[in-house]
Amino acid sequence: MTVELTDLLAPLEPELEAMRSVLARELESDDPAVAAMLEHLSRFRGKQLRATLLLLMGRASGNEHPELPEVAAIVEMIHLATLVHDDVLDGAEVRRQLPSVNLEWDNQNAVLLGDWLYARAFSLSTRLSSPLASQVLAEVTSRICVGEIRQAQGRYAFEATVERYEEVATAKTGVLYGAAAELGVRFGRSEADVLGAEMRALGEELGLAFQIADDLLDLEGEESVVGKSVGTDVDDGKVTLPVLLAWRSADLTTREGIEAAYRAPGVPDRRAALFAACDLGPGLTQARARADELIASARGRLSLLPDTDSRQALESVLEFTLERRN
Amino acid sequence: MTVELTDLLAPLEPELEAMRSVLARELESDDPAVAAMLEHLSRFRGKQLRATLLLLMGRASGNEHPELPEVAAIVEMIHLATLVHDDVLDGAEVRRQLPSVNLEWDNQNAVLLGDWLYARAFSLSTRLSSPLASQVLAEVTSRICVGEIRQAQGRYAFEATVERYEEVATAKTGVLYGAAAELGVRFGRSEADVLGAEMRALGEELGLAFQIADDLLDLEGEESVVGKSVGTDVDDGKVTLPVLLAWRSADLTTREGIEAAYRAPGVPDRRAALFAACDLGPGLTQARARADELIASARGRLSLLPDTDSRQALESVLEFTLERRN
């Protein structure tokens, strides 16, 4: 993260620390086999942006519910479960500079560990004083799965619309950010209201922008910097936004070149083949512009919150999405 | 099921029908890709023994909570999720005479469909008037995963103890029956009490006996009768109770023969190789005796319930476990 963002998040450190303690407490098992995988997972610790968003939303809206760190931990556990399953589905071998669970153990263990993480997340949510987290997160999890299924069944679908891309990416990535933002504002406090709905919309925009940034990194990033396998979208037949935009504005020959690069059998670097087949520049630029637009819209919604340091930190979180390099 | 059991269950038909309506309502999706898989799944409809147990327990204990069919449907949804993931993990191709989801679609879609089923089950549980189902089932689901992980990591572990086998099988299969029995008695009604604990213990014994019956069918059954792939335990390196017992009483040469049959590369029917390598008879007999013992113990616990037709039906459900042919 940028120095500026780290400074802005410093006041949040006690809540983040509380959230990390909950995670450490919940991600334990008496069973040595499970414990070994959890130990490995604990080294994956990422940016914890969803938890940060939730806790900042609590602060910025004056929600001081003492269980917010638990709710934030549950969101991170669900995210972790999706990562573990995603790596199985994508056959990814590197995650945050470490071997993925499916590589270090195998697909069986990784599927089961993901199931366990989901179950633990739900189990924790049922122990809270309000049912809102259980309700929102169970619903969101089923939407994530539908997004993933649509993505899995839409491989090599170059003729897809941008609208469909955004629907799938919102389901896959956006809704969990949306839930985090909404729960920060509403947990233990209010019925559904305008502020909750607006913050959910902000979270979904942030999540979609984050997914587009992920698409860009998979095409432009280097594994040593990004910390996970790159070029996997091409290998997996995922038609990401930059590629979709490039394909849509390409002539027939170039389109065939793009498709051939995606499907090239036995090519060790399909991503390079893709860049050779087509000038991806305009697609990358347009995708970046769309992410900018989403973040601008999200920023507009922040005006519903009082002008505080926490709101300023939320602005920086939004900015960070556009600048991320990993 | 036997004619007798069907007769005994006839009075339960309204609740079972209500449970099936809930299942039909919940296992729907606007998304065509998900809907197609759900349509396929709906044809898997099995014996719904867990739901039957839950509803019978409600009747037998005088619990007339109107949401019991919903709770029973949730238990069946969790069971369905575990089946879909199990078939991925085991590479099974046939389930209830139909192609498995992983065969008809692929592993990716099957993993995601299983995740979706778990999420929908939890989502429904959060919409009930009491949090008990959410709490019990989230906890049980994480125990199932641990059982599955221990099983996955204990492949080809011939030196395992019978105790370990029973621990793993109880976690994998028993606890969901235990939860079904307990929820039937307690949902919406009482704090944890002796009756709830005893019925949970009964459910776990029934589940463990059911698992042993499953082990026996995988060794002795024919695919056309059982309705799913047989011999898969041997192919997957699962040391089931009959094999474990046979191995433990075998001499060194026979033990080597058993292990060689399990690992025989490129053998189309490893199960036949196993029978050729060793007289499995005593192992099969002892395993059957253990299932009998479990059912006898479970039957003893039924005396805590008043003597009604529902209790008699519960007795028949216990009997049925020993007689099942599929």
Instruction: Render pLDDT for B25-53 as a digit per residue (tens, 0 to 9).
Output: 999 999 998 999 999 998 877 889 999 99
Report the Cα–Cα distance between both ends of chain A, in Å, rounded.
Answer: 9
The more confidently predicted of residues B278 and B93 is: B278
Buried b (16+ CB within 10 A) or exposed e, A258-271: bbebbebeeeeebb
* B174-212 confidence digits (pLDDT tens): 999 999 999 999 999 877 789 999 999 999 999 999 999
Task: For residue B276, name the pLDDT band (cuts at 50, 70, 90).
Answer: very high
Distance from CA of B202 to the nearest CA of A (A): 24
* Pairing of the two strands A98-99 and B94-95: unpaired
Which residue is closest to B126 within chain A, CA to CA? A135
Angle, helix B68-90 to helix B107-126, in steps of 10 degrees: 160
* Chain B residues 150-209 with CB within 8 Å of chain A: 150, 152-153
Burial of residue A222 (CB within 10 Å: 0-12, 13-18, 19+) is exposed
Distance (Å, whole) CA A108 – CA B153: 9
Q: What is the pLDDT of residue A206?
A: 98
Chain B residues with CB-CB distance to A127 below 8 A: 135
Q: What are phi and psi of B98, to 5 degrees?
A: -120, 155
Q: What is the pLDDT of residue A210?
A: 95
- The amino acid occupying position B253 is T
* B294-321 confidence digits (pLDDT tens): 999 999 999 999 999 999 999 999 998 8
Task: For residue B322, name the pLDDT band (cuts at 50, 70, 90).
Answer: confident
Sign of the C-alpha dihedral, residues B52, B56, B59, B61?
negative
Q: Cα angle vertex B74, ends B191, A169, to 5°?
A: 125
* B117-143 confidence digits (pLDDT tens): 999 999 999 999 999 999 999 999 999
Among B112, B119, B123, select the one facing A152 at the smallest CB separation: B112
Among A111, A127, A145, select the one facing B88 at the smallest CB separation: A111
CA–CA distances in Å: residue A319 to residues A5, A118, A294: 9, 30, 11
Q: What is the pLDDT of residue A326?
A: 66
* B83-98 confidence digits (pLDDT tens): 999 888 877 777 777 8
- Identify the segments of chain A with pLDDT beneath 70: 1-3, 325-326
B126 CB near a chain A CB, below 8 Å?
yes
Q: Cα angle vertex A201, ends A199, A204, to 5°?
A: 110
Region B209-230: mean pLDDT is 88
Task: For residue B1, name the pLDDT band (cuts at 50, 70, 90).
Answer: low
Chain B residues with CB-CB distance to A74 below 8 A: none
Domain A3-323 has CATH 3.30.930.10: no
Strands (E) in A122-220, as ranges, are none
Q: What is the pLDDT of residue B326?
A: 65
Interface probe with B: pick from A106, A122, A150, most Cβ of B within 10 Å? A122
Task: For residue B224, name the pLDDT band (cuts at 50, 70, 90).
Answer: confident
User: Within a 10 A sphere around the Cβ of A55, how many other Cβ atoms?
Assistant: 27
- Total residue length of chain A: 326
| ipTM score of complex | 0.91
Chain A residues with CB-CB distance to B111 below 8 A: 85, 88-89, 111
Task: For residue B238, name the pLDDT band (cuts at 50, 70, 90).
Answer: very high
Distance (Å, whole) CA A88 – CA A93: 9
Interface probe with B: pick from A104, A141, A150, A153, most Cβ of B within 10 Å? A153
Which residue is closest to B153 within chain A, CA to CA? A33
| Helix (H) / strand (E) containing A169 | helix A162-169
Which residue is closest to B85 within chain A, CA to CA? A111
Q: Where do the H-state alpha helices sit in B221-280?
A: 223-226, 232-235, 241-248, 252-263, 270-277
Q: What is the pLDDT of residue A268?
A: 85
User: Within a 10 A sphere around the Cβ of B32, how many other Cβ atoms?
Assistant: 10
Residue whose token pair is 């620390």: A17
Interchain CB contacts (distance < 8 Å): A and B? 129
Rg (C-alpha) for chain B, rounded Å, is 20
B118 CB near a chain A CB, below 8 Å?
yes
Q: What is the pLDDT of residue A1?
A: 54
Percent of chain B with pLDDT over 90: 76
Chain A residues with CB-CB distance to B156 below 8 A: none
Chain B residues with CB-CB distance to A144 below 8 A: 119
